[in-house]
A and B are shown apart, each in its own frame.
Chain A
Amino acid sequence: MSKGETYLLFCLEGEPFSVPVQRVEEVLEYEEPTCIPRSPEYLLGIVNVRGRLIPILDLRRRFGLPPGEITVNSRFVVLNLDWEGEAVPLGLLVDTVEGVIDFEEDLITAPPTLGKNRGDNSFLRGTARHNDSIYMVLEVDRILPGDTLHRDFATVSGGTQ
């Protein structure tokens, strides 16, 4: 049996997702971010975490899911991204955080060819089966690709060009 890795589980729209715990800096309770105007809709703004500014990404909107409501279970999962060669923090807004789980590396299978996001599922590393449930495993560094972000910023500020 190959060596396992620990994953953090969270839910969006009732669907289970996971990211490697190694890449998670911390999980925070929801607080209202300071919104930054003239940004893509899926960026909610910034929060101050002990003097450090963390940008917040609405994962539902990024994945094209309907917007959710903020509840007592809403959390920010703060990831450490390798973003165009630089370590960048990013907080994901998720519905709930479920806990951690160990997946065997060989239990992760390639992503299905048809994802929820009209075929673009490069942010998915694959799926993992555990106790008869299927978990989506995210490719952390592909959640917010640089070219996508730049394009979206250009669209947003297009009005003044």
Chain B
Amino acid sequence: MSIHADPLETFREEAKEQLVVLEESLLALEEDPADQEMIAAAFRSLHTIKGSGGMFDLGSLVHFAHVVESVFDLMRNGTLHVESRIISLGLQARDHLLALLEHGDDPELQSEGALLEQAFLAYLPEKGDGAASPAAGQSAEAQSERTWRILFRPKPILFRHGANPLLLIREMEELGTILVLGFSDGIPELSSIDPTECYLAWEVLLTTTADEQAIRDVFMFVEDDADLEISLVDEVADSDLPYKRLGEILLERGDITAEALEQSVNERAFLGQTLVEKGFVSSERVHAALEEQRYVRSMRESRQTAESSNAIRVGTDKLSSLVNLVGEFVSMHANVVFTAQQKDDRDFIAVGEQMDRLIRELRDLSIEMHMVPVSGLFNGYRRLVRDLASNLGKEVRLITEGSETELDKNVIDLLKDPLMHIVRNSVDHGIETPEIRTGAGKSPTGTLKLAASYAGAHVVIRVSDDGAGMNVERIRAKAIERGVLSAESDRSEEEILQYIFAPGFSTAEQTTAVSGRGVGMDVVQRNIEQLGGSVRIASRTGEGSTVTIRIPLTLAIVEGLLARVDRNWYLVNLSYIEECLDFDTMDHENRRGYASYRGGIVPFVDMRRYFRIKGTAEKNGGQQLIVVSVDDKRVGLVVDEIQDTYQSVIKSLGRIYEKVEGISGAIMLGNGTPALVLDVDRLVRLAAREKGHE
């Protein structure tokens, strides 16, 4: 499902908004040339246009915006004074950009653009080619600015490989506003230094519209020669959150342990001073943390003034109702189209088709408005992890990855509790005490990682720890004891691990003071499945566990293919489908359930058999094979017939049917009868498991 109906059109709209901002700030600058805020606002709007224009084939627009932006950059850092000529040139540039947006690149505009460009280039120091090429690594989407913390710890070998961190800093500067904090506290004295090794380390706070990948790309060539940690420290959506406290920041950065903080926080002196005096951390690190605090504050303030003018705050409940209403509307529209087709009323059908386009746009827009990054969700666990760890006498570092990944706010809200439970479990049962860890040759501090990434219409969230891992034998024993697994079963370890999601499987030791609240992993699984998602666990003894959650980007509406099995219609989510083939004409082996596919074979599930339907499909054929894939597993589903794609709100089957297999919900068809949504995830896993046993 595409969120942007027409990305180019979206870009044009956004760019025009930016041009309004540009014009306003230029006019304000005419009144007060010393207004730094306005210079920054003008710069940002040009920067945004350039950045988001980069993903379309709008070379001349991007190029022109870049040249103008470079001049504004000089004014922003004080190298160039604001003067009336620049303002009038700026206004001309604004008009030119608007013309480029509206008319594209026609020859008349080109000569006009060239003249203007010359005028701007005259303000730039002669730097050869570099100045006029668009900065690399701009994020594809015109996202709001966020502040990232980049911890860059080079390995000693870095200098010998010819890398120069100064160049990396310069590249980051290109992406946005930066605060660079270098650490020299690792440099030994002359008698013990190898001067060709690198002892320096950096932390950079970068406020940018670029995404994590763009930042990572800066470090592409030094990847193996340094440790790199990128995390989101602040963003607009978070601006209601209280500012982080010094101790919190130091802890987050891994400069101090929770224990050290605990020991120092109770003394009634300045925390930073106490920590330094106790020798827990160098004064340079405290200074850096204070700088970060100050930086986040100033960025947030300037952003708020900049954005309050062209954004409206809407309560999330209103937004949720909007999304729900649009969902119902989409279903209702399907009903209208269905009725029109039944009555075979051409005019009516035509109107329905026109509405279809509008409704799709409305749908995408409302869903998009309802998407928020998972960073808030992730960061919400910091306190929990910290408190848990200190209660248990453990040292745990929480790191996050891909926290800019966006999800429907409703999904995020519903994910909060299950994810909390998993995080809690990891700290409680996964990560060992420092003594045990040291004994096992691990670092005394355990690491808990929360990572999010996109996978088609889904988001994958991974919670991994480097703790003790699960005890497969104990789970196997328990499963046999509970009669859900036979003693002879040759299930793989991976399959056996999944039994921790079975009801009542919380093992005895799971009831510690911290996590034993009577909620088992079965509840976690149920909550996630109710979201149309799935959860899996992987583990290695001694190395840790990873819980992988897969959830749809949005709950509101799915688009799927309608397939018939016997008398029922089923919806197969489009995001899983690879292709549909005529099953009758394919080579297939019914007994073992394989069909030849793309030069190889694919296992298939005969849906009639799976659903225990007596009798065979009609003799006139028409059976179809829907090839679906989840992760790297590919399976075919044999159905009696396929029809159009259909989009609808998914409804839960409710508690009575919560244990049913292979079906994850229902939708309403145009004529009002329910159709069922196939649980593709489960079917694929099932097929893969069965075939794995042969």
Interface residues of A (CB under 8 A from B): 34-39, 43, 46-48, 51, 53, 55, 83-84, 86, 88-90, 144, 149-150, 153-154, 157, 160-161
- With A48-B668, A51-B328, A53-B666 known as contacts, the answer to whether A36 contacts B657 (CB < 8 A) is yes
Docked CA distance A89–B654 (Å): 9
Residues of B within 8 A of A48 (CB): 668, 672-674
A-B contact pairs, 9 of them (CB 8 A): A34-B675, A38-B612, A38-B661, A43-B657, A46-B657, A48-B674, A53-B653, A150-B659, A160-B686
Taken together as a complex, chains A and B put the C-alpha atoms of A46 and B568 apart, in Å, by 12
Report A-chain residues with C-beta under 8 Å of the C-beta of B610: 37-38
CB contact under 8 A between A88 and B668, given known A38-B661, A38-B662: no
- If A36-B663, A38-B612, A38-B661 touch, whether A55 touches B674 (CB-CB below 8 Å) is no
Are B659 and A37 in contact, with the CB atoms below 8 A?
no
Q: Could you list 8 further interchain pairs (A-B, Cβ under 8 angstroms) beyond the known A89-B654, A150-B659, A154-B659? A: A37-B660, A38-B611, A48-B673, A53-B674, A55-B656, A149-B656, A153-B660, A161-B484
Residue-wise, chain B 638-681 has the 8 Å CB interface mask toward A (1 for contact) of 00000000000001111111011111001010001111100000
User: Bound complex: CA of A83 vs CA of B663, how far in Å?
Assistant: 21
**Across the interface, which residues of B come within 8 angstroms of A88, CB to CB?**
654-656
Interface centre among A37, A51, A149 (most CB of B within 10 A): A37
Question: Which residues on B sit within 8 Å (CB–CB) of A149?
Answer: 656, 659
Interchain nearest-CB distance for B213 vs A (Å) = 41
**What CA separation (Å) do A86 and B611 show in the bound complex?**
29
For the complex, what is the distance from the CA of A86 to the CA of B660, rounded to whole Å? Answer: 18
In the assembled complex, B613 has its CB within 8 A of some CB on chain A: yes
A-B contact count (CB 8 A): 76
* Inter-subunit contact A34/B653 (CB<8 Å): no
Select the residue from A43, A48, A83 with max chain B CB neighbours within 10 A: A48
A39 cross-chain contacts in B, Cβ below 8 A: 657, 660
Please tell me which one of the listed residues A55, A157, A160, A161 contacts residue B657 in the complex, with CB atoms under 8 A apart. Answer: A55
A43 touches B656 (CB 8 A): yes
Distance A16 CA – B484 CA, assembled complex (angstroms): 41
How far is A161 from B536 in the complex, measured between Cα atoms in Å? 18
B654: chain A residues within 8 A (beta carbon)? 53, 55, 88-89
Contact between chains at B655 and A34 (CB < 8 Å): no
Residue of B nearest to A89 (CB): B654
**Top 7 A-B pairs ranked by shortest CB distance?**
A37-B611, A153-B659, A55-B656, A34-B674, A157-B661, A88-B655, A48-B674
Chain A residues whose C-beta falls within 8 Å of the C-beta of B676 in the assembled complex: 34, 36
A125 and B428 CA atoms in complex are apart in Å by: 46
Contacts of A153 in B (CB 8 A): 659-660
Contact A86 B655 (CB under 8 A): yes
In the complex, what residue of chain B is closest to A57 when comparing beta carbons? B656
* Distance, CA A144 to CA B686, complexed state (A): 29
**Contact: B612 with A37, CB < 8 Å?**
yes
**Bound-complex Cα distance A86 to B484 (A):** 27
Q: Which one of B328, B652, B674, B675 contacts A47 once the chains associate, using CB atoms below 8 Å? A: B674
A46-B653, A53-B666 known; A38+B660 contact, CB < 8 A:
yes
Least CB separation from B662: chain A residue: A38
Q: Chain A residues near B668 (CB, 8 Å)?
A: 48, 51
- 1/0 per residue, CB under 8 A from A, across B197-238: the answer is 000000000000000000000000000000000000000000
Inter-chain CA distance A55–B656, complex, in Å, is: 7
| Distance (whole angstroms) from the CB of B440 to the closest CB of chain A | 37
B residues 596-631 in Cβ contact with A at 8 Å? 610-613
Give chain A nearest CB distance to B377 CB in angstroms: 26
Question: Which residue of B is nearest A146, CB measured?
Answer: B655
Contacts of B611 in A (CB 8 A): 37-38
- In the complex the two chains form, what is the Cα distance from A154 to B659 in whole Å? 8
- Chain B residues closer than 8 Å to A34, beta-carbon distance: 568, 666, 673-676
B368-395 CB contacts (< 8 Å) to partner A: none
Which residue of chain B has its CB nearest to the CB of A54?
A: B654
Chain A, residue nearest B689 (CB)? A160
CB-defined contacts of A160 to chain B, threshold 8 Å: 661, 686, 690
A105 to B521, CA, bound (A): 44
Residues of chain A lying within 8 A (CB to CB) of residue B655: 83-84, 86, 88
Most buried by B among A43, A53, A88, A161: A53
